[in-house]
């Protein structure tokens, strides 16, 4: 899909230059044919070799830090249908990196919150309810804080971490989301003196090695690249 867009744009540009050029500068038929043949060969080479370089574009979205002992393991909202983020966070708890599992408790449907679902799943996986901290997005006045982005969620979690005097945290999120999450959390938490370690979880909606072979994966890659670019606007 990406190669088709690039090829179409290149061909359009070449045709435009040929049409707008003065008569004495226009390409001859042989030269025009040569240009198209060269473009076709380049496109064919890129298409055939795509398994060699497109995986790197998928890996670009992924960031992972070596794990260390932390005050809490934070699971970001927006988990997939099988709870991959929570499952990975529970594995990190079992490995002994932290005893506290923190989730943002945001409404995701009528009468259902992300914190409630995470608590239930973690309990099934063997985590004690006393180890789970659900950070509510509601103030004492009953007004909810809008958690419509990673930035707004990070601000909510930062306030809770400061209140608990945390100094190191492990943030668990989907693999495709880790680079953007790392940038946002590092920018906000660094000023508060809190160290952030990013840990990816596998996600059924994004296969890193073959993301260009499925429409859903390609859509996720494009969307995440757009959000990553916008993060530099909302948080310079």
Q: pLDDT, tens digit, for every residue of 41-81? A: 777 767 666 677 778 888 999 999 999 999 999 999 888 88
Question: Is pLDDT at 164 greater than 90 in this prediction?
Answer: yes
- The DSSP output letter for 144 is B
Q: Rounded distance, CA 61 to CA 175, Å?
A: 7
Q: What is the mean pLDDT of residues 116-136?
A: 88
Q: Is 104 within 8 Å of 77 (Cβ atoms)?
A: yes
Q: What is the pLDDT of residue 113?
A: 79
pLDDT-based confidence at residue 102 (cuts at 50, 70, 90): very high
Q: Rounded distance, CA 56 to CA 43, Å?
A: 19
pLDDT-based confidence at residue 235 (cuts at 50, 70, 90): confident
How, if at all, do strands 112-113 and 72-75 pair?
A: unpaired
Give the predicted TM-score (pTM) of the model.
Answer: 0.78
Average model confidence (pLDDT) across the chain = 81
More confident residue, 213 or 28: 213
Q: What is the pLDDT of residue 199?
A: 96
Task: Report pLDDT digits (tens) over 171-189.
Answer: 999 999 999 999 999 999 9
More confident residue, 28 or 61: 61
pLDDT-based confidence at residue 6 (cuts at 50, 70, 90): very low
Question: Is pLDDT at 11 greater than 90 in this prediction?
Answer: no
pLDDT-based confidence at residue 21 (cuts at 50, 70, 90): very low
Between 74-78, 94-98, 147-151, 227-231, the lowest mean confidence (pLDDT) is in 147-151
φ, ψ dihedrals at 188, nearest 5°: -80, -45
Q: Is 102 within 8 Å of 75 (Cβ atoms)?
A: yes
Q: What is the mean pLDDT of residues 88-111?
A: 88
More confident residue, 161 or 16: 161
pLDDT-based confidence at residue 27 (cuts at 50, 70, 90): low
Least Cα distance to 103 among 83, 127, 119 occurs for: 119
pLDDT-based confidence at residue 3 (cuts at 50, 70, 90): very low
Instruction: Calculate what percentage of the chain has a pLDDT beyond 90.
Output: 40
């Amino acid at each position: 899909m990406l190669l088709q867009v690039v090829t179409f744009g290149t061909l359009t540009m070449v045709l435009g230059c040929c049409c707008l050029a003065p008569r004495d500068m226009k390409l001859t038929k042989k030269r025009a044919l040569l240009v198209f043949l060269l473009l076709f060969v380049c496109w064919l080479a890129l298409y055939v070799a795509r398994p060699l370089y497109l995986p790197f574009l998928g890996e670009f979205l992924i960031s992972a830090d070596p794990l260390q002992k932390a005050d809490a393991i934070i699971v970001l909202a927006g988990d997939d249908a099988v709870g991959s983020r929570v499952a990975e966070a529970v594995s990190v708890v079992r490995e002994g990196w932290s005893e506290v599992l923190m989730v943002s408790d945001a409404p995701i449907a009528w009468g259902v919150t992300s914190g409630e679902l995470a608590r239930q799943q973690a309990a099934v996986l063997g985590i004690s309810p006393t180890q789970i901290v659900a950070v509510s997005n509601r103030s004492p006045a009953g007004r909810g804080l809008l958690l419509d982005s990673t930035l707004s969620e990070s601000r909510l979690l930062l306030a809770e971490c400061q209140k608990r005097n945390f100094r190191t945290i492990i943030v668990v999120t989907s693999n495709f989301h880790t680079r953007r999450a790392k940038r946002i959390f590092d920018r906000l938490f660094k000023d508060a003196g809190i160290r952030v370690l990013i840990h990816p979880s596998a996600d059924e909606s994004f296969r890193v090695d073959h993301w260009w072979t499925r429409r859903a994966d390609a859509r996720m890659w494009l969307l995440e690249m757009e959000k990553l670019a916008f993060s530099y606007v909302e948080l310079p």
